[in-house]
A and B are shown apart, each in its own frame.
Chain A
Amino acid sequence: MSLATLIAGVVQVAGGVLGAPAIVGLIQHLKARLQGRRGPPVLQPYRELRRLWGKSGVAPEPHTLIYTLAPAVAVASTALVLLLLPIGGHAPDWGLGNDALVLVGLLALARFAMTLAAWDTAGAFGLMGAARDLMFSVFVEGLLLLVLVLLALPLHSTDLLSVSHAATLPEVWARPAHWAAALAFCLVIVAETGRQPVDNPDTHLELTMVHEGPLLEYAGRELAYLQWSAAARHWIMLVLACELLIPHPGPFVAQLAVLGGGVLALSVALAVCETVQAKMRVLRVPLLLGSGAALCLLGLASWFAGGGG
């Protein structure tokens, strides 16, 4: 194990577990500033987590083992995804491989656990959000797989390490396919992290919630798990965007710098996007994602028009 992979491993774990809430805090702070408020400090999510960690949980009346297991499953699968991410083009061999489709599958497991928990307590509020979340996931997964097809074009592989290596090749950036994938992936980021215009993360009204829905029934440490898991999704999506869809220089240190700067820049971009856009009607979100899919197909056609290979 070289020094690069060691550092990559440390960043994977530490960045994901400890650094993820900072991203959420940064976005909230920036949004507030842009809206003319003072807003919560950047480290506020850490205080939230510490507060929740100290509280006891709830055992609602009609509940089964699924209520207890769901937050743990969501956190476990998100944590395993952290170990699949390439950092600066390197990743230690944790024995879990580095496959993009395994990543998608684990995120699906987390979503499954959360939406199932919404059924368990016989309360109706969580289900509204769960139904919308699952409906979005149908289109988001299709779009995400199309983006992965485009990303796999240069080196014919879905291994995340290969794909991030492909992002360092200048000839890849001369073709429109990768740019199309980058634009489509921006839509995926917005949908997966639950930011406007797809979803409003600050609301807790049942009529407008999507991702926040199933969280209503939880308290204490389990709620801390779920809030961390939402923050970790931000980290995962932004790291993927930086590693796979931003032109990279070759050396490891430069790549780390690009990663750090990229995550910061994308957080700022997310905050600006949320401030500028209003929330879309739920039924119009699939149209937006469909336009992303059309863009991907155009990119695919352009790859072959430009000579393939």
Chain B
Amino acid sequence: MGTPGALVLAGVLAIAAGALSAGLSRSPRAGLMAQSVGMVLLALAGVWVLASGHAVGAGFRSDVRPAFGLDGLSGFFLLVIAVVGAPATLFARDALEADWQGRSLAVATGAFLLALVGFVCARDVSTFLGFWELMTLVPAAAILLARQDREARHGVFVYLAITHIGGSGVWVAMLVLAQHGALGGHPLGGGLAAFVACASLVGFSTKAGLMPLHSWLPRAHPLAPAHISALMSGVMIKLALYGLVRVLFQWLAPPGLWVGITLMAVGALSCVGGVLYALMQHELKRLLAFHSIENVGIVALGLGASLVFRDIGQPMWSAIAFAAALLHALNHALFKGLLFLGAGAFSKAVGGLELDRLGGLLRRMPWTGATFALGAMAIAGLPPLNGFASEWLTLQSLLHLGVASHLGVALAGALATAALAGTAALAVYCFVKVIGLVLLGLPRRSECAEASEVPVGMRASMVFLAGSCVALGVLPGLLVPTLAALGPGRVRLHEGAGLNVPGTGSLPTLALALALVLLVSALVRLARSRRAAPAPTWTCGQPPATGLAWTSAGFTKPLRLVLEALLRPQREVRVISSLGVVESVTYQAEVPHLFDTLLYGPVSRGALRAAGIARSVQSGSLRAYLIYLLALLGLLLALARTGVLG
């Protein structure tokens, strides 16, 4: 079994033991610490397998015998699970109370982690599909454990309904692949490959949250407790893309250019749509959920570009695009996990995450605020952090697709490049708004003015994630060649701290980071060598009032007005006056989710109407059902006797 296998086993046992002890003992703290340790062991196993390049355990097999194993790609995704799982469980130690709800949530966390790990290590169709289902069901259970109100129940219902209806594509694809022996190393080709590609695209992109099958994500992610949201957003949706990678890159013979182009189109739509709707949100967790859609879109763009490069015969760029997608998956896990944990910390300190009613939290909660700001800068794709490195690599891949030799491919690449560039700028816009509203300015509620810093465990987990963001931003070149080797084409890239890719001017991350830090500190010293005069902020002579402060809707108004035709914002102003004196003015504005009104609404209404019609068959009479039975039997017998049925 070797060291990595032993590490995996030890990690899994630690998580299971942690879950059990959290459920049985009085406080879940010890159990969650055991789960954290287990995740660290799993991270070590993943890194070991990734670095050594040797697979461990069983390989993929097409028959239905349960088997587990670990290869490079699985090891990488194990690392992704662990870098979010370990801090999240540490965070939960301080976030969960020692009552029944806290203990059951700790058990649910352990079960979720085991389901994620099991999915990544599954090597045959039964374990793959079994853990896929568990991966969907356990967070639903966790949400319902934490909240039982109507909104939570409806959100979980929508989540389960959409992921199961869309996820049937996964079942179909996997079973067809297993039936034709494609899992064991003979890629499936021909017409059936196109069908499997469609089914797997629909199935995995529903779970990953790509538009237009994303409607469950903004409903379900805000409902869960902070650490479960971090795991769902950071890890669970990436594992859906892991499944897509396995199907499209390893188990199917290339079905044609259309798969890559479709994936790129879906990715571009998710990118732009996700970040646009994120900008228009006024609640922090829902905003972060829409951003997950955007980042999953970026990963999908990278994967689609990799497929297209493979089909037009450029193996080096195919590997680079693949590495970019995987790197962005890891980076997004890191900073999205950090942002969700930060949101959980703010929620614990202040209670409520309406953006317009926060503010001034950087001074009251310096650690949480600073790490949250760092995470926001990373997700906005600013140098020298990790978001910039992976977005740079993805942009380079798309740009080089735009200069390819075939006009259709070049147009697709150029449009995707423009979409990703616009997305990056929109992400900057969105996170300037978030940081400004949450951390800066004046506190807008008394709870914000009196907020205190969260316990050490929560802070430590966020600091770890922020540090990883910086580390991966400064040293991405250590990971990218290994990732490129995992992809199609088997290409080896230049090793180093920065990203040195042929056909570009290179991204020397270490030098850039050092230069920035040195210059900034020198300039700050120079500017502040004279004492600054304290003065109040000029707001026409009044003291700054929170009632006159900018809101989220106000800051995003220019974009909302420009894209009015696309977003269709709705606005209602009601003025109540009596005897000529205005008594109250109510203003309500909303950007409705167009997908809900145009796509999901009609579909669900039609389905309900059809179900209503089908219901008339159910008369409620036992004898009627027996008559149906006998009639069907008679019909079948008659058909058999007359030879129609074989």
Contacts and interface: CB of A to CB of B under 8 A. Distances in A.
Interface of A: 56-62, 64, 66, 68-69, 71-73, 75-77, 79-80, 84, 95-102, 104-106, 108-109, 111-112, 115-116, 118-125, 127, 130-132, 134-135, 137-146, 148-149, 152-153, 156-161, 216-217, 220-222, 225, 282-283, 286, 293, 296-297, 300-301, 304-305, 308-309
Given A141-B425, A282-B558, A56 B414 contact: no
B403 A149 contact: yes
B536 interface: yes
A68 B526 CA distance: 11
Contacts of B515: 76, 80, 96
A56 B531 contact: yes
Interface in B190-225: none
Given A80-B516, A141-B424, A217-B537, A119 B432 contact: yes
B529 to A, nearest CB: 8
B537 A122 contact: yes
Given A62-B360, A109-B382, 17 more contacts: A56-B530, A59-B534, A59-B535, A62-B544, A64-B439, A72-B527, A124-B539, A127-B436, A134-B425, A137-B428, A141-B421, A141-B425, A145-B421, A160-B505, A216-B538, A304-B406, A304-B410
A142 B558 contact: no
Most interface-central of B428, B519, B526, B554 (chain A CB within 10 A): B428
Most interface-central of B388, B422, B426 (chain A CB within 10 A): B422
Nearest to A153: B403
Given A99-B504, A127-B555, A105 B388 contact: yes
A72 B530 contact: no
A131 B403 contact: no
B432 A72 contact: no
A96 B508 contact: yes
B246 to A, nearest CB: 31
A282 B562 CA distance: 9
Interface in B554-585: 554-559, 561-562
Contacts of A135: 429, 558-559, 562
Interface string B376-400: 0100111100001000100110011
Given A97-B507, A157-B503, A293-B418, A61 B536 contact: yes
Contacts of A69: 520, 524
A145 B417 contact: yes
A135 B561 CA distance: 10
A142 to B, nearest CB: 4
22 contacts: A58-B532, A62-B537, A72-B520, A80-B519, A95-B508, A98-B506, A99-B392, A105-B388, A105-B392, A118-B436, A119-B550, A123-B538, A138-B422, A142-B419, A143-B418, A145-B399, A145-B417, A149-B402, A158-B505, A221-B526, A297-B414, A297-B415
A81 to B, nearest CB: 11
A131 B558 contact: yes
Contacts of B512: 80, 96, 102
A61 B537 contact: yes
Nearest to B508: A97
A41 B230 CA distance: 58
Interface string B494-536: 0000100001111110011001100111011011101111111
Given A122-B442, A142-B418, A112 B533 contact: no
Chain B interface main SS type: helix
B363 interface: yes
A160 B505 CA distance: 7
A104 to B, nearest CB: 8
Contacts of A116: 432, 435-436, 440
Given A95-B508, A123-B539, A152 B403 contact: yes
Contacts of A139: 422
Contact of A61 (B505, B526, B535): B535
A103 to B, nearest CB: 9
Most interface-central of A61, A108, A130 (chain B CB within 10 A): A108
Contact of A152 (B392, B399, B432): B399
Contacts of A286: 562
Contacts of B508: 95-97
Contacts, number: 265
Given A96-B511, A161-B505, A124 B411 contact: no
B425 A138 contact: yes
A102 B383 contact: yes
A123 B537 contact: yes
B645 interface: no
Given A116-B432, A293-B418, A57 B532 contact: yes
Contacts of A61: 534-537, 544
A207 to B, nearest CB: 13
Contacts of A68: 524, 527-528
Given A132-B558, A220-B530, A108 B524 contact: no
A137 B392 contact: no
B549 interface: yes
A72 B399 contact: no
A77 B511 contact: no
B399 A112 contact: no
B380 A156 contact: no
A292 B509 CA distance: 32
B432 A134 contact: yes
Contacts of B428: 108, 111-112, 134, 137
Contact of B422 (A122, A131, A141, A159): A141
A73 B373 CA distance: 15
B622 interface: no
A120 B440 contact: yes
Most interface-central of A76, A104, A293, A297 (chain B CB within 10 A): A76
Nearest to A145: B421
Contacts of B526: 221
A300 B414 contact: yes
Contacts of B536: 60-61
B392 A101 contact: yes
B616 interface: no
B588 interface: no
Contacts of B440: 64, 66, 116, 119-120, 122
B614 interface: no
A137 B532 contact: no
Given A157-B503, A158-B505, A72 B436 contact: no
A120 B165 CA distance: 46
B316 to A, nearest CB: 12
B598 interface: no
Contacts of A112: 377, 380, 382, 428, 432
B425 to A, nearest CB: 4
A139 B425 CA distance: 8
Contacts of B562: 135, 283, 286
Contacts of A120: 436, 440-441
